[in-house]
Amino acid sequence: MSRIGKKQIVIPPKTEVSISGGFISVKGPLGELKKEFSSDIDIKIEDGKIVLIPIRNSLPLKALWGTYASHICNMIQGVTTEYQKKLIVEGIGFKSEVKGNELTLSVGFSHQIKVALPTNLKVTAEKNVISISGIDKESVGQFAAKVRALKKPEPYKGKGIRYDDEVIRRKQGKKSV
C-alpha cells in the first residue's frame, strides 16, 4: 500500500482544482498547470481535499497511486510558491549570460554553447550563478539537469557546472617526488 497515496491532499486557499476528462488543472496566484492522468486511479475532490483511490489491487497501480499523489502535490505547491534551482559555473574564464531567449555559456570549449530557454521558466545569470525558476517542478529540474550535463564538474579542480547545494568529492592529483 502506498503511504503517500493514502494521505488526503489539502487544497490551500486561493487555489482551485478541477477534474475533467482525465485532466487535472490547478489554478493559483502564480499561474495554471494542467496534467493528464489515467483512469486507473479514481481522483475525487471532497470538502477542500483531494482523495485518490486505485480501482484494482495490482502492483503497478499501487506504484501509480503514490506517483499521482506526488504529482498533484507538486502542482499545488508550484502554483502557490515557485520552484527554484541554482547552478554555479566554476572555472577560470567560465561565464554565463542570458541574451534574449538564449543562455550563452563559455565553459572551456573552443566555441560558446547556446541553449534555448523554455517559455515557462525564468532564467537569470549573474556572475557565475544561473537561477532557474518556474511553477512546474518537472520542467525546472529537467532544464537544470540539461544545463549541468553540458559541462559536469570534474573531481580534480572542481571546474564545471554544479548545483548550488552539490558537494564535489575531490581527488588527489599526481604526487611530485
pLDDT at 177: 67
Q: Which residues pair with 103 in a beta bridge?
A: 98, 115
pLDDT tens-place values along the chain, 177 residues long: 568 888 999 999 999 999 998 899 999 999 999 999 988 899 999 998 999 999 988 888 888 999 999 999 999 999 999 999 999 999 999 999 999 999 999 999 999 999 999 999 999 999 899 999 999 999 999 999 999 999 999 999 989 999 999 999 999 888 876
With beta carbons less than 8 A apart as the criterion, state whether 154 and 94 touch: no
CA separation for the pair 147, 142 (Å, rounded): 9
* Residue ranges in the chain assigned as alpha helix (H): 3-6, 59-80, 137-148
pTM of the complete model: 0.89
Res 82: pLDDT? 95
What pLDDT is attached to residue 1? 56
Cell of 173: 592529483
Q: What is the pLDDT of residue 121?
A: 95
Is the CB of residue 93 less than 8 Å from the CB of residue 33?
A: no
Domains and CATH numbers, the chain: 3-80 (3.90.930.12), 83-163 (3.90.930.12)
Residue 26 · residue 76 · CB < 8 Å = yes
At residue 22, the pLDDT reads 87
Alpha carbon 163 to chain centroid, angstroms: 13
Residue 119: CB atoms within 10 Å: 8
Angle, vertex CA 92, rays to CA 90 and CA 97, nearest 5: 65
**Beta partners for residue 49, in sequence order:** 10, 46
Q: What is the pLDDT of residue 2?
A: 66
Distance from C-alpha of 115 to C-alpha of 9, rounded to nearest angstrom: 37
**Terminal-residue alpha carbon distance, the chain:** 60
